[in-house]
A and B are shown apart, each in its own frame.
Chain A
Amino acid sequence: MLRWENYFMKSDVQFETFWKSYQENGKPDILFIMGMGFDPRTNLGIESIYSVRARERRDTLLLRYYRTAEEKDIPPIQPVQEHIDRLNDFLHEAGHAAPQIKDVVLRSEDDKSIASINATYIIPDFSIFEKYTDIIIDISAMPRGIFIPLINKCLDLVDQYNSINAVKKNLHVIVTENAKLDSYIEDRGTDETATYVHGFRIKEIGKTDEQKEVWIPILGENQTSQFDKIKLELNPVETCPILPFPCDDLRRGDKLIIEYQERLLNDNNVELKNIVYADESNPFQVYRLLNKTIHRYNDSFKLLAGSKIIVSALSNKLLTVGAFMAAYEKKKEGLNIGIMHVESLKHELKAEFEEQQIEIAKHNKLFEIWLAGAPYYEQ
C-alpha cells in the first residue's frame, strides 16, 4: 500500500475552516517555517493561520536568501523589505514573537550552487522541533532548490520521531498557488548546468553502471532552457513527460505540448503514449501516478540490471511536492531515484504586474498538505 494512499489536503475556503477549527480544538504548538522574498504571496499563509487567536506557541522561522555570502551586508530590495515590515507588524499586532531569522546563501564564492546543501542544514537536528506539536512549512516564497531538501529533512526527522513515539509530531506543507501570478514572474537567468537536489542524487557508481536511465519531467511553462540543460546531463532510454490535466485552463496541456514540441517530437526516446496527465492542483494524484510509472519502469528494467529514475519538476509547486513525495518514498524503498533541477538565479515580476495586481490577487488559493503525523496513524 502506498504511504499516502489516503491523504489529507484542504484548499481555499476549506483551508481557512480547517486551520481555524484545528487550532481551536487541537491546541497545537506551531513552528511556522517560511521564506522571505519578493513574491506577493510571501505573507498570506502565516497571516491566515496566525490570525486565529491562540494561547499556544506560535513561533516563526524566517529564511532570508542571499545570492552570495557577501550580499548579507546589502539592504534588501524594496518588495522584500516591505514584506519583512509587514510580517513584523503582523506578528507584533497578533501578539506573537518576532521571527527567528536564518540566512541561506544560495551560491558559493566560486559561483557553484549550494542552495540545496544549505537548505538541508536549516534544521540541523530534531531538537528544533521538540517544543512543537506541529511544524508548518510554507513554500510559497521558497525556490525548489530550498523547499525540496528542507521538506526532505523535516519529514525524515518527523518520521524517525513518530516511529518510536506514541504522541506524533505533525508536518504540514502549505502553499499559495496562483497560476496567473506565476505567469507574471520571470526567471532572470538560470544556473549553467542542471544539478541533483541534495539528498536526491541518483547513485552513479560502478555497481549501477549498467542501469538504464528513465527521465520523468513534469512540464511547465517557460522552462524549455531548464529542460534542455537537464537533458544534457542525462542519457535516458525512456522519457516520460507529465502534463497537467485536469487544470483551470483546460488547454494548458496542449499548449505545453506545442511549447515543447521540438523537444518531445524530435526525440527518439519520447513516445507520445508515455505522456502522463496529472491534476495540476492535487499533489497526491501526481504522487500516485509517479509511483505507478516508477514501478512500471522498475519492473521492466529489472531483467536489464535495473533502472535509474530521474524526476524533474519544471511545473508549479503543488506538482513539485507530489514529485517529491514519490521520490521520498521510493528512495526509502531502496530504488535508485533522484531529483534533478536547474536553479534559477533570479526572479522578477514583470512590469505589467503593478497595474494588474488587485485582479491577480483574486486568484490566490491556499493549499494545506498534511504530510506526516496524526492522520496517518491508527488512534
Chain B
Amino acid sequence: MRVDINPFYTRASDNIDSEEKFIKLFSPEILSIFKEHPIWHAVNVLRSSPGGGKTTLLRMFTPKILASINAGKTHDDHSRELFSAFTELGVFNERGEVQVAAALTSFTNQYSTLEYLNLSETHKIRLFCSLLNTRIILGVLKSICLTKELNYPYELQRVNFTEEQNLKVPAHLRNIKNGFVLYEWATNEEERISDQIDSIYAETSEGKGVDSFYSLDLLSPSNLKIDDMPLDIKIVVMLDDVHNLSTAQRGFLVKAIIDKRPAVNTWISERLKALTMEELLSEGSNQGRDTNIIILENYWAKRHIQFEKFAKSVANRRVEMAFENNMDFATFLSIKMSSKYQSIIKDALQKIESRVSQKYGNSNKYKPWIKSMEALDEDDYEKLIEWRALEILIYRDAHRPQQTLAFDDLEVEQLEHQNGNDVKVAAQLFIHDEFNIPFYYGFSTVCRLASSNIEQFLNIAGELFDLVQTNNIKRIINSGHQLALSPEKQEDVIKKIVNLRWKELNTNVPLFDEIKKLMDAIGQFCYSETFVPNAWNSPGINGIAITMSERNDIKDKILKDKNHQYYKLARCLTICIAYNLIDFKLNYKCKGKEWMILYLNRIYCAKYQLPLNNGKFKEKTLKDMLGWLNNGINIKPKFNYNDA
C-alpha cells in the first residue's frame, strides 16, 4: 500500500489494517445520508459507481472500528466528532456503549463461479443460499463476540437461541441452541461448500440445502440470549459488492431480501453496473416503506456545497498524514495566473479591447458600457474576463431580433444586471478556447470534475498532490520554492487524467466503440452550442434531454425488444449510466413538458472544453441520437472570434 508515499492514493475501503488509520481517513459528512432515511428496521440499499464510498461507509459500522472510536474519543478530536455523529444515529448509547453488532460480508467471484459450474439450477441456488447463510451466521456470531467482548469463538458457548420453534429455520438447525455448536456446524458447512465450488469435477447430485436466507431470521436479536439475558443490541447484516454476483444470483438475492423484510437490519451495497437496464432508468423508484435506496452520487449531486465540504475534509485528512503542519489542500491549487501568462493575458486583453472598440466603439448606445470597462481597476486577468463578457453582452444586444425603439444610451446598471456569473464563466471558457489560457483549475473545479464521486475526486487530487510533494522536496534546496501549483500545471494534470481515463474506458466499458461515438457526438454537440457568439446558454451546456415519454418508451418497450430500431441506442445509454459516463435527472419540467436530462460526467466535460456547472441542456430526440450513433455528428463550423 502506498499510504506513506501519497495518502491520496490510499482508499479507506482498501485493506487498511489499522483501525486508527482507517478512522483518520474517514470524514463524517457522509453519515448525513442517514439523516434523510430511517437507518434502522429497513433494508438499506446503497448504490454508486466504483469509488462512491459504499464500502468505507459500511466498514465504519463494524465492531473493531466502533471500539476504536469509543477508545479514541477521550483523547482525539476526530474520534470525538465521529462518536457524536454515531451517537446521533443510535450506534452508541448515552453511556457510550456500542448498540450495534454489524457483520460485513463481501461477495467475491467465488459466488458467481457457482453460476457457471455444470450443476442444475436448483443445486446452484441451494449452494448459493447455503454458502451465504453460513457466512452471515459466522459473521454475526463473530461480531456479537467483538461487540460484547467475548472470546471468539470459545465464548460463543454463552450465546443461546431461544426455545421457540422457528419454522423459517431448516429442520436440521432447529435443534442447535448454542452459539458455539452453530459456529462449528457453519465452519464445516462453509468448507464443504467452498471445496465443492472449486472442484474440477462436475457434481451430478441435486445436493441438499435450502433456498432461502433463513440466517436473517435465526439471528434476530429476539431469538438470541447471552448468559440467558436477552440480547440488547441491534444486529446488522451488510452485504457488500453485490455487483460481483451473476445477474441471476443478484436478482434472486435482492428480491428475496426485499420481499422477506428480514428480522435483522440488512444493508446491501452494489455498483450501478449491476442494475438491470430497467432499474438503471428508474432512479430508485421501487423505493418502499421498508426499503431505502440511496444512490450516493445523486445524493451529493443535489448538495454540491456539502459535497465540496466533504471532499475538503477528505483531502485535508490526507494532507495531514503527509505534512506535519495543518494545511488546507485548497491552498495548494493556486487560482492566480503565473507570470508565464501575464504577457499572454496582456495581449489578449489588448486584442479584445480593440475588437470591442472597433466594432461597437462608435455606437453611442454602447459607449457607457465600454467606458465603464475602461475605468476598471482590477488585475489584467479579471479585466480580460470583464471585457470578454462585455463583448458577449453587446453581441447579444446588437443581434436581438427586435431592437428597442428607444435611442437612449444603455445604463451601466443594466450591464451589471446582465453580466452575471454565468456570462463571466462563459467569457472565461471563450478566453480559454481562443487564447489557451487555463480554465480547469482550483479546488472548486476539482470538486466539480469529481461528478459527486469521492474516488474520482481523490484520483485527481492525488495526481495534483504528487506535484505538491515534489515541490516540498524542492524546498529543501530552495526554501522559497512554492508549494502551490499554478493554474496551467493543474490544467495539464487534469487533462492528462481525462485522456488516460478515456483511454481506459476502451477496455473497461462494453460496446465502447459505439459508446465513444455517442459520447463524442454529445460532447461535440454541447461544444457547438456552447461556443456561439451570444453565449445564449451561458455558461454553456453539458447535457442533452429527451422527453419523459421517450424515456418511458426506452424502459417499457425498446429495451424489451432486441429487434427494435432503437435497441442499440437504449443499450448504449444504459451502459453510459451504469459506468458513470452520464448522470441523469428524471421528470424535469421545462417548456410545458417533462424531460429526462442526460449530463456528461463532469470529468469528460474537460475533454470537450465544456463548463462544469450544473443545469444547461438542449432537447434532442431519440431519432437525433440514433443518427449520431450510426453516422457520428455533423457539426456546424465554429464561429471565428474576430468575425463574431
A residues sitting closer than 8 Å to B (CB atoms) are 108-114, 117-118, 120-121, 124, 149, 152-153, 156, 188-190, 192-193, 195-196, 198-201, 203-207, 232, 234-235, 262, 266-268, 345
Contact = CB atoms under 8 A, between A and B. Distances in A.
Contact of B200 (A108, A152, A234, A266): A152
A121 B246 contact: no
A56 to B, nearest CB: 29
A192 B109 CA distance: 12
A195 B109 contact: yes
Given A110-B246, A111-B510, A345-B507, A201 B2 contact: no
B380 interface: no
Interface string B340-365: 00000000000000000000000000
B402 interface: no
B194 A205 contact: yes
Given A206-B190, A266-B5, A268-B1, A198 B113 contact: yes
B508 A189 contact: yes
A120 B200 contact: yes
Interface string B194-208: 110111101000000
Interface in B591-638: none
Contacts of A110: 246-247
Nearest to B2: A266
A69 to B, nearest CB: 12
Given A117-B113, A189-B507, A345-B507, 15 more contacts: A111-B510, A112-B109, A112-B112, A124-B202, A149-B200, A188-B506, A192-B508, A198-B113, A201-B194, A201-B197, A203-B195, A204-B108, A204-B194, A206-B187, A266-B2
B246 A112 contact: yes
Contacts of B186: 206
Contacts of B116: 108, 112, 114, 117-118
Contacts of B4: 266, 268
A190 B507 contact: yes
A268 B4 CA distance: 9
Contacts, number: 80
Contacts of A124: 202
B14 interface: yes
B151 interface: no
Contacts of A192: 508
Contacts of A199: 198-200
Interface in B164-197: 183, 186-187, 190-191, 194-195, 197
Interface in B40-93: none
Interface string B98-117: 00000000001110110111
A156 B118 CA distance: 19
Contacts of A193: 109
Interface in B222-268: 246-247
Given A110-B246, A232-B14, A198 B198 contact: yes
B138 interface: yes
B149 interface: no
A117 B117 contact: yes
B508 A205 contact: no
A205 B197 CA distance: 13
B247 A109 contact: yes
A234 B113 CA distance: 19
Given A199-B198, A266-B5, A205 B187 contact: yes
